[in-house]
């Protein structure tokens, strides 16, 4: 598996398996299958309510913990130094591990500087190997990166052939921060399947448009974490290391990029309100 070296020297796989919207009761089965077909990076989050399923899978899969790379994320309701610290311990317990490889702030809202301090402390205590951000668009990213003692190792952003994040990449470069792509398959958007540029390249290489879309990301050294509950698709999504796009083919994908926020934007107050209250459906009393 191709790896990416983070800005603190930690190596992580460039391709992994994400479990957003994998129901808790399915999560152990899906993560076990993902590991059995070769995934070593698993991406979960407190707000996915399936960390326990990930924990069961990684302790029962037979692959040593040291060969797995676990990412989780602190949700908004756990923001602030004290609450974030307690939530890190809770995630460790649910994940059945004594360290998290990569811990992220899930959303750029509420007391995220307090959360960051708790994360830096967790690194010093050996509970976490690397820390980073998610959904921090260039303005908030720079604010956080300047504030941080430990510079963010990654920023997990919606990144795919239709949302290529060139501006974000440029702002993050001086801090050595890598893009980690969520929604690398455009969250199942049928336009990805039918796109003629991707379809043409897929035919040339005997691959699917989805495999071309993932290859495009890993060839830019962008860490990608496609999700599927189907083992055949898990295998396909991992099978992108036996071909390479030429520089001209990489360029031919660039015009597929659409303006930032073409579907939804973290700068839209309605989205901010939605995310701030997202947890209520799981914890009505909070």
Ligand X SMILES: NC(=O)c1ccc[n+]([C@@H]2O[C@H](COP(=O)([O-])OP(=O)(O)OC[C@H]3O[C@@H](n4cnc5c(N)ncnc54)[C@H](OP(=O)(O)O)[C@@H]3O)[C@@H](O)[C@H]2O)c1
Rounded distance between C-alpha atoms, residue 212 and residue 206, angstroms = 10
The correct pick among 12, 13, 14, 18 for binding ligand X (CB under 6 A) is 18
Regarding 20 and contact with ligand X (CB under 6 A), the answer is yes
Considering the complex, what minimum distance in angstroms separates the CB of residue 15 from ligand X? 11
The question of whether 48 is a catalytic residue gets the answer yes
* HEC assignment per residue over 175-209: HCCEEEEECCCHHHCHHHHHCHHHHHHHHHHCCCH
Footprint (CB under 6 A) of ligand X, residues 141-200: 156, 182-188
Which of 17, 48, 137, 175 is labelled catalytic? 48
The correct pick among 87, 115, 134, 164 for binding ligand X (CB under 6 A) is 134
Region of 148 please: left (phi>0), alpha (psi -120 to 50) or beta: beta
Nearest to 272 by CA among 87, 137, 144, 99: 137
Spell out, one character per residue from 194 to 233, where the chain touches ligand X: x when CB under 6 A holds, - when not: ----------------x--------------xxxxxx--x
Strands 41-43 and 17-18: parallel
Considering the complex, what minimum distance in angstroms separates the CB of residue 184 from ligand X? 5
Specify the residue, 188 or 255, whose C-beta has the smaller distance to ligand X.
Answer: 188
Sign of CA dihedral 166, 170, 171, 175: positive
For residues 7 and 177, the answer to whether their CB atoms sit within 8 Å is yes
Using CB under 6 A, list all residues that contact ligand X. Answer: 18-20, 43, 106, 134-135, 156, 182-188, 210, 225-230, 233, 236-237
Catalytic residues: 48
């Amino acid at each position: 598996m191709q790896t990416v070296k983070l800005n603190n020297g930690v190596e992580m796989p460039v391709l992994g398996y994400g479990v957003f919207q994998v129901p808790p009761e399915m999560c152990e089965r899906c993560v076990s299958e993902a590991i059995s077909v070769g995934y070593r990076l698993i991406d979960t989050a407190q707000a996915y309510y399936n960390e326990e399923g990930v924990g069961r899978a990684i302790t029962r899969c037979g692959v040593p913990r040291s060969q797995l790379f676990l990412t989780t994320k602190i949700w908004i309701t756990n923001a602030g130094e004290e609450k974030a610290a307690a939530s890190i311990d809770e995630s460790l317990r649910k994940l059945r591990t004594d360290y998290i490889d990569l811990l992220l702030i899930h959303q750029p809202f509420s007391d995220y500087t307090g959360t960051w301090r708790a994360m830096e402390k967790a690194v010093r205590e050996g509970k976490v190997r690397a820390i980073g951000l998610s959904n921090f668009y260039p303005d908030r990213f720079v604010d956080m990166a300047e504030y941080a003692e430990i510079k963010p190792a990654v920023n997990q952003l919606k990144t795919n052939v239709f949302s290529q994040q060139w501006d974000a990449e440029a702002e993050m470069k001086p801090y050595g921060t890598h893009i980690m792509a969520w929604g690398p398959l455009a969250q199942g958007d049928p336009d990805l399947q039918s796109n003629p540029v991707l379809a043409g390249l897929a035919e040339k290489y005997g691959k699917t448009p989805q495999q071309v879309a993932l290859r495009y990301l890993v060839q830019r050294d962008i860490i990608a974490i496609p999700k599927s509950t189907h083992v055949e698709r898990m295998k396909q999504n991992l099978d992108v290391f036996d071909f390479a796009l030429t520089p001209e083919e990489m360029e031919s994908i660039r015009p597929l990029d659409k303006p930032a926020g073409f579907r939804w934007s973290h700068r839209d107050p309605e989205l901010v309100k939605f995310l701030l209250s997202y947890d209520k459906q799981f914890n009505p009393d909070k």
